[in-house]
């Protein structure tokens, strides 16, 4: 709750000042406070869902041999990688050759950790498996 109040600091002080100047009706203040509490709960639920999702995928990935390059790229994907993951982006993230990146991506595809997005050819891109179930 304190993090949400800090995020809404300006509105908090505006509402608090307005409440002090009103008569004994504190309904607007209570309404604002309950709205703030709701935003805090929604934010906490969202954060927790993200942490649990990352933990489930991390546990599944842990069943497969993952070298430092793969771990680095998979962590970037789990942390909300923007855009599409291609072999060339993998190579840049892992600081490896394109051939090494292609081998890593192929292994991750074979183990079900990554899945291919719709388009193919030069525009082939990949994403984490959403099923959360990887081959053992």
62-100 residue pLDDT tens: 777 788 899 899 888 888 788 889 999 999 999 999 999
Do 35 and 89 lie in a common domain?
no
Which residue, chain included where needed, has tokens 């990949």?
A: 126
Domain membership of residue 58 (yes or no) is: no
Quick: pLDDT tens for 17-33: 888 888 888 888 899 99
Between CA 45 and CA 2 the distance in angstroms is 16
Instruction: Say yes or no to pLDDT of 122 above 90.
Output: no
Give the residue-averaged pLDDT of 12-17. 90
Percent of the chain whose pLDDT exceeds 90: 41
Domain membership of residue 135 (yes or no) is: no
Percent of the chain whose pLDDT exceeds 70: 95
| CATH, residue 101 | 1.10.10.10
Beta bridge partners of 85: 126
Do 72 and 122 lie in a common domain?
yes
Domain membership of residue 46 (yes or no) is: yes
Domain membership of residue 92 (yes or no) is: yes
Which pLDDT value is given to residue 128? 86
Do 123 and 87 lie in a common domain?
yes
Which pLDDT value is given to residue 131? 56
Question: Could you tell me which residue, 106 or 123, shows the higher pLDDT?
Answer: 106
Q: Please, are residues 69 and 33 in contact by the beta-carbon 8 Å criterion? A: no
Give the residue-averaged pLDDT of 47-73. 84
Between CA 135 and CA 92 the distance in angstroms is 27
Domain membership of residue 59 (yes or no) is: no
Domain range for residue 40? 2-53
Which pLDDT value is given to residue 97? 95
- Give the CA-trace dihedral at 94, 106, 133, 85, to 10 degrees: 50
Do 32 and 10 lie in a common domain?
yes
Number of compact structural domains in the chain: 2
pLDDT-based confidence at 58, cuts 50/70/90?
confident
């Amino acid at each position: 709750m304190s993090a949400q109040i800090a995020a809404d600091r300006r509105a908090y002080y505006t509402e608090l000042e307005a409440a002090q100047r009103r008569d004994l009706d504190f309904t607007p203040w209570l309404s604002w406070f309950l709205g703030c509490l709701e935003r805090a709960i929604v934010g906490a639920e969202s954060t927790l869902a993200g942490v649990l999702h990352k933990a489930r995928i991390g546990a599944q990935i842990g069943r497969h041999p993952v070298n430092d390059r793969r771990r680095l790229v998979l962590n970037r994907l789990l942390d909300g990688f923007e855009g599409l993951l291609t072999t060339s982006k993998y190579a840049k993230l892992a600081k490896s050759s394109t051939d090494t990146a292609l081998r890593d991506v192929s292994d991750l595809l074979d183990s079900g950790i990554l899945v291919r997005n719709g388009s193919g050819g030069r525009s082939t891109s990949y994403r984490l498996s959403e099923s959360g179930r990887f081959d053992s």
